[in-house]
Structure 1
């Protein structure tokens, strides 16, 4: 396989890898978006469960306080009857103290009941708001899930087709060259770069003159001393236009540089 053929295969491989990476990013975003909505729904359901349990405890405590208040009211009435039946000052003072203590406890319980009633009302409002939000999120999940799954299936199918095409290209490349390509690709998404004027089109650094002169013979690949991309020579666009070269040079010299 000639250097020119290897250049064409490397360019096709790099282009496929860009496509595959873009598809994988789209797959990740769509899955993340759907999973994010599902996670939000789970969080809302958990919050609803906790809030409803808390509200149930509040209602139980309120019921107990109301019973206690009725009992205190009855005790106050009995203490008043005791006061009315008192036969001396000592019994009168004792009955009055008992009534005052009961009234104070009664006021404390009323204040506690009022605070609890307000808190329960706020809890109900919060539960209603959370429930409404949950229904909206569930509706959004149901509304987008089918379309998202279809889109994911299409992206996965396209990705599989690109990977199959990629396998065919990889088989054409010498094993050492492919291994070098993969090693660089772990550090830089675009692992190759062209040069036609002694400047790496990947990082725009000037190459050593001796390296550039060697590359012009197109006998072997080099690596950019700066960015370490696989580097290859293509004729300048003007020379290609005069018939000095064909598509590989045109494609590489017009490709956008990638850091």
Structure 2
């Protein structure tokens, strides 16, 4: 009996072993399938040729600031550089300070002190005319010390009837047409009533001529503040009317002779 049981046991063991061998490939396949199913999917990496994120663009450069001009009784200032105008050929000294700056066609700002004498003013105007600047926006204190602003257009050509205003070395205000004629003398002095009469006389001539510009000059001994006062007074409205907006003001850089034909640059 014992041998018989052992034989059956051995036979059964062999059967189990054979069955295990037969099922092993199927079990292995199932195990592999389960692993693939449970394994996390890997995300695709960035392509080697993908471009890098664009860097932030640099800020746009600030526009260049306009050249600032100034003058007083001691010197002319070009872009903050002090230019001594005493001695010979002040225009050459001022022109040197401008260098090769490109300012053609621009309207520049000029801060002009009242006590500056006319030669400094006309020298600076002459240089910027040579640089083909379009106009100068001039800031000067009024008599009451509030700020006054006038725009002087450069390189204007006069018509025969263009009005000319002038302050002589005696501070007398005169006016005549640009082509030349007997000058009309309105006042002697620049006090309030004299300034009013002189400015009214010039304004009437300006309004009587259909020309794009009128002209203003002064003797070399006259200070800029008086010229500025006269220009402001002429620009005001009175019974004769207001000067049209399209009629510009031009400063004479060459001192005229009252009643004679004017010269312009």
| TM above 0.5 | no
TM-score after normalising by structure 2: 0.23
TM-score after normalising by structure 1: 0.23
Larger radius of gyration: 2
**Structure with bigger RCO (C-alpha 8 Å, 6+ apart):** 1
**Structure with greater proportional strand content:** 2
